[in-house]
Structure 1
Amino acid sequence: MALFDFDGTLYPYETFNILMERLKRHPKYKKNYKRFVRNFAPIYFFYKLKLINKATMQSKAMEYYILSFKKNSRREIESFFKEVAGDMIDDLRAPLIRKIKQLKQDNYYIMLISGAFIPLLEAIFQGYDIDCIVGSKINYDGERLDNKSRFERVYADRKIDIIRQHFAGKEVDWKNSEAYSDSYADLKMLELVGRPVAVKPDERLMAIASRKQWHIHTD
């Protein structure tokens, strides 16, 4: 098995920043950006006052981002994510994309697990033969957003829960499995496998990867 993070790993930038810029400048959906800013401003204010932590702020940012599409149809939302995906594909880390293809040839089970929105991930990796794509789910009620269902961002320890649930009852060769991430937040995911790879790691992950002599991927 091989586990791959997306933001900062397969994709070298922060997905949410790309989504924000695209929404802000989009000829059809830029009004959604104004709606997002208006609704999210109090949360960001609380974060700056250190009344909520960064992880909570980021989760709320994603929740209010998708809620800005409450007046749009499911088809429009998924079309928007496909547009953004088209802009992002060329920036994927080519060595890691080649690694995925090689691992598939070697009969590895490939799981992409990320906090990014599922339709964005599915659009980017269409045709890549990824065995399982896990991301933050967008809830619908028919063809419209379901704004009453709880939004859940796939992040940190939640990834571990999902991975363990997904492979429950299956024999997994953890010792010869691989995991790829850039972030200390994914430390537990990296520690699940016998072959962890730190990809352009942040400072905290770099210190641990160096101490444990993990493979460190740089561009």
Structure 2
Amino acid sequence: MKVALFDFDGTLYPYETFNVLMERLKRHPRYKKNYSRFVRRFAPVYFAYKMKMIKKSRMQSKAMEYYLLSFKKNTRSEIEAFFKEVAGEMIEDLRAPLIGKMKQLKQENYYIMLISGAFIPLLEAVFKGFDIDCIVGSEIRYKGEKIDYKSRFERVYADRKIDIIRRHFADKQVDWKNSEAYSDSYTDLKMLELVGRPVAVKPDERLKAVAARNQWQIHTD
């Protein structure tokens, strides 16, 4: 089997999902208080990042964790409805050429995997009705109808993507040489190197240099 691996933030979707989520929370008529709770909790972490006391990746993971915790008092149905609202605003901004490419690859019997650090309910809402074989994202754990705030939050990021991909295809015969992967970020380098046909999508500077050196395809808008 041949597979096609797609990143979401900066790739299928040209913007940073978390920035969109923050803006939506900040101006939401019902959840403005959640934004205030998030800012109070996250401020010390952001300060530590600006002072170079913690890495960017850790700051980003804590931002997502505290974002979820701002919904501590809300029910699962309310949280999923919120993500569905945000997804509705994001769909029209998806990169149409890449969405077309994804559909083409599906018709050619590629196994389509969307793997992203974005929250799973957001990804599922954005791609509802798309024929995607597997959607992987950062999980929201619940205890009953409320967020299980005592469980450890794990962001799907960098090397963790590779671990998930390898586990998922462990018992399958994959033609990696003729498989494809799409990403905009150097943090996904190992995912891109896994396949024979990597595509750098509007890449950051580090990935752009690697793509040029290896003569990978570079997709620009």
Q: Bin the TM-score by the shorter chain.
A: over 0.9
Q: 2, 6, 13: which is aligned to 1:11?
A: 13
Residue-by-residue CA offset, 1:49-89 (whole Å, 9 max, x unaligned): 11100000000000000110000000000000000000000
Match of 1:179 among 165, 178, 181: 181
Match of 1:21 in 2: 23
Which residue in 2 is equivalent to 1:140? 142
How far the C-alpha of 1:47 sits from its partner, in A, is: 0.7
In 1, Cα distance between the equivalents of 2:150 and 2:20?
A: 26
- SS of corresponding position for 2:5: strand
State TM-score, norm by structure 2: 0.99
Cross-structure match for 2:117: 115
1:108 maps to a residue whose letter is Y
Which aligned segments of 4 or more residues in structure 1 are displaced greater than 4 angstroms?
A: none
Which structure 1 residue ranges, 5 or more long, are not aligned? none
Q: Which amino acid aligns with 1:192?
A: L
Partner of 2:219: 217
What residue in structure 1 maps to residue 48 of structure 2?
46
**Whole-angstrom CA distance in 1 between matches of 2:208 and 2:133:** 29
Deviations 1:128-166 (A, max 9, x none): 010000000001001000000000000000000000000
Q: Report the alpha carbon displacement of residue 169 of structure 1 after superposing the two structures with TM.
A: 1.6
How many residues get paired? 219
SS of the counterpart of 1:161?
A: helix
Alignment of 1:1-219 (within 5 A): 1-219=3-221
Query: How far off its partner does 1:217 sit?
Result: 0.3
Q: CA deviation at 1:48?
A: 1.0
User: Which SS does the other structure have where 1:209 is aligned?
Assistant: helix
CA displacement at 1:201 relative to structure 2? 0.2
RMSD: 0.3
* Distance in 2 separating the partners of 1:57 and 1:77: 23
Q: Percent identity?
A: 82
List alignment gaps of at least 5 residues for structure 2: none
Q: 2:197 is matched by which residue type in structure 1?
A: R
